[in-house]
Amino acid sequence: MVRSVIIRALRAAFLALSPVLLGATAWAEPQHGIAMYGAPALPEGFAHLPYANPDAPKGGRIRMGESGSFDSLNPWILKGRAAQGISAYVTESLMGRSYDEPFTLYGLLAESVETDEARSWVEFTLRESARFSDGSPVTVEDVMWSYETLGTQGHPRYQNAWRKVAKMEQTGPRSLRLTFSEPDRELALLMGMRPVLKKAQWDGKTFAEETLTTPVGSGPYLIDRVEQGKYISLRRNPDWWGKDLGFNRGQHNFDEIRYDYFGDGGVVFEAFKGGEIDTWRETNAAKWARDFDFPAVQDGRVVKSEIPHQRPSGIQGLVMNTRKPVFADWRVREAMMLAFNFEFINATLNDGSEPRITSFFSNSVLGMQPGAAQGKVAELLAPFAADLLPGVIDGYELPSSDGSELNRGNTRKAIKLLEEAGWQVDKDGVLKNADGTPFTFEIVLQQGAAETSSVVDIYVEGLSRLGIFPKVTNIDDAQYTARTNSYDFDMAWYVRALSLSPGNEQMLYWGARGVAEPGSRNWMGMNVPAAEAMVTAMVSARETEDFVAATQALDRILTAGRYVIPGWYSRVSRLAHIRELHFPERLPLYGDWPGFQPDVWWYEEAQ
């Protein structure tokens, strides 16, 4: 059922471009929105997004809990760990995303967007009414400065797209045009999603190093109170310029959004049970069934809500850093996966209730299909066949066990692969190479992540049967961020959410630049030209079938690369919250996207 809904949604959104639908006349004048494929679903002047409640009351507050700490108010640079909420609610972009469509943007700071049929350039026209919170107008100069600064000094996630901008120019009092240096149909949309900052505020400051400046934005909220590392409070701006836009109607309803920081996830849950915060997101089905019987749930003060979604599973599990010699051989990585007894771990921690992640884009039409590559997928992979790992073209499935604790069958297979890779167990039961060097590595975990630690505890026990005795290191949030940004780990817990509209960001995830360039999401250190070629094929595709084939081919490369030992995912999001918090009955395609709470939620006193 879920799969069929996704396919219908993708087909509706990914209408093949044709002279009839999107010929040269389709972009003869500026438009109110832009879609990756086909046309936006909502007409010009729409009253509100389909999943927002335009009658939601304004007022109240929502208190949210975070684990760890923060030391920065600048979420657009690599340095430091920024406080939550700033990029989402203090600043805005030219266009805003609808989460009811795979990838469609509607005008926000920009009243219109214009491009050619080839999408070799894009032009935006700012709304005359757009204002920063200090009352000054949002200007083309602010936009151009923001784009260039983020593209050259900002976090690496902004730099890949900026490298493809050949020219940026002002074309009118409120308009600018960006011309691209290479074919990439997604760039027209990506350029609409960059945060716009106030240029004058940053004069005389080194943007890449500045972490404590309170940014002036044009968004619905202002930074009200901050205690570094402890909490940040955002206050709704009653004079917000955009409050009457159809895109915003029914959104941003709370007077205050507050993020309180605690030592670890377990402490956050206790704070929720004690009434110090208002909401808790539970990722473990067994805990959802077992641990929510405290008094506030029993008497109705806390409500349990399950939010279905139609997103790909994404990837969550233990990533192996192939920059380290110990994990450079795919046979070793396959042995590590064989030692991971998912069936036993899932039964122990989740009562066996959660499905396994079978590939990076599983649970969607974008996921790789079973068996050998066929059709367009096979055609895309064929030029790289000689360099691809076993399983990419001929088919690959994750190892599965009989569910017993000892996992004997997979252990035998793992030992055989390790022997082929030059490792053998000595008389003392320790796996060593021909030089007598033990096979050892470090697993780096974030302090306080109890569920992750439980998974690793069981895994380490399984590794001991191979003669492998890894070191497990738990470090605080700041150290974890620093070490993973610099790839200073052997194995770590890895989470990447993936959407129904993957594009240029995939190069940041899997591209070769991330092997050495710090701050990318390529934690595994993969350098696979075929993967980069598939991303290029994805962003240049004009037909639905070509886009899906390229994504399925990428999924094969990633999964058969044996870079991540996958855990499980959930088909629903589980949110417990005080009964005064409400969300619309009409749910979007993405269900519970990262901003679903608090974007379209509201506060209403219980009757």
pLDDT in tens, 463-500: 999 999 999 999 988 899 999 999 999 999 999 989 88
* Alpha carbons 524 and 514: distance in angstroms, whole number: 9
Query: Tell me, what's the pLDDT at 346?
Result: 93
Question: Mind listing the pLDDT tens digit for each residue in 127-172?
Answer: 999 999 999 999 999 999 999 999 999 999 899 899 999 999 999 9
Q: Which two tokens stand for residue 218?
A: 């044009």
> Residue 544 pLDDT more than 90?
no
CA distance 412 to 351: 26
Beta bridge partners of 280: 576
Q: What is the pLDDT of residues 341-363, one digit of tens each?
A: 999 999 999 888 889 999 999 99
590 phi-psi bin (left φ>0, alpha ψ -120 to 50, beta other)? alpha
- Which of 226-240, 256-270, 378-392 is the least confident region? 256-270
Reply yes or no on whether the pLDDT at 440 is more than 50.
yes
111-121 residue pLDDT tens: 999 999 999 99
Across residues 264-274, what is the average pLDDT? 89
* 8 has pLDDT over 80: no
Band the pLDDT of 16: cuts 50, 70, 90. very low
pLDDT for residue 595: 85
Residue 4: band (very low, low, confident or very high) from pLDDT cuts 50, 70, 90: very low
**390 by DSSP, 3-state: which?**
coil
- Say what the pLDDT of residue 263 is: 79
Run of H or E including 376:
helix 375-381
pLDDT at 264: 75
Q: Which is it for strands 471-475 and 442-446: parallel, antiparallel or unpaired? A: parallel
SS3 368: coil
Distances (CA, A) of 524 to 45, 110, 252, 335: 45, 38, 37, 16
Helices (H) and strands (E) in the chain, counts: 18, 25
Residue 559 has pLDDT above 80, yes or no: yes
Does residue 95 have a pLDDT over 80?
Answer: yes
575 — phi, psi (to 5°)? -120, 120
Contact 438, 425 (CB under 8 A): no
Residue 29 pLDDT class (50, 70, 90 cuts): confident
Kindly state the helix (H) or strand (E) to which residue 168 belongs, with its residue range.
strand 165-172
Contact 443, 456 (CB under 8 A): yes
Task: Answer for the pair 322, 329: CB distance below 8 angstroms, yes or no.
Answer: no
Would you state the pLDDT for residue 26? 44
* C-beta of residue 140 within 8 angstroms of C-beta of residue 94: no
Token duo for residue 516: 């050495």
Give the Cα separation of 281 and 451 in Å (integer): 14
Distance CA 547, CA 359 (A): 17
Q: Over 50: is that where the pLDDT of 295 sits?
A: yes
Which string of b and e fits 569-591 if b means at least 16 CB within 10 Å?
Answer: bbeebbbbbbebbbbbeebbbbb
Cβ(229)–Cβ(120) under 8 Å? no
Task: Give the C-alpha distances (Å, rounded to integers) separating 268 from 54, 320, 526.
Answer: 32, 29, 35
H or E element, residue 258 = strand 256-262
The answer on pLDDT for 565 being more than 90 is yes
pTM score of the predicted model: 0.79
pLDDT of residue 422 exceeding 60, the answer is yes
517-551 in b/e form (b: 16+ CB < 10 A) is: eebbbbbbbbbbebbbbbbbbbbbbeebebbbbbb
Residues 6+ apart with CB under 8 A from 416: none
Mean pLDDT of the chain: 92
For residues 422-434, give the mean pLDDT: 96
The answer on pLDDT for 272 being more than 80 is: yes
Mean pLDDT within 47-64: 97
pLDDT at 6: 40
Tell me what pLDDT residue 420 has.
97
Dist. CA 401–CA 399, nearest whole Å: 7
Res 592: pLDDT: 81
What value does the mean pLDDT take over residues 255-263?
Answer: 95
Q: Lay out the sheet containing 95-98: strands in order across.
A: 33-35, 104-107, 95-98
N-terminal to C-terminal alpha carbon distance within the chain: 36
50 preceded by a cis bond (ω within 30 of 0): no
The Cα–Cα gap between 205 and 444 comes to 35
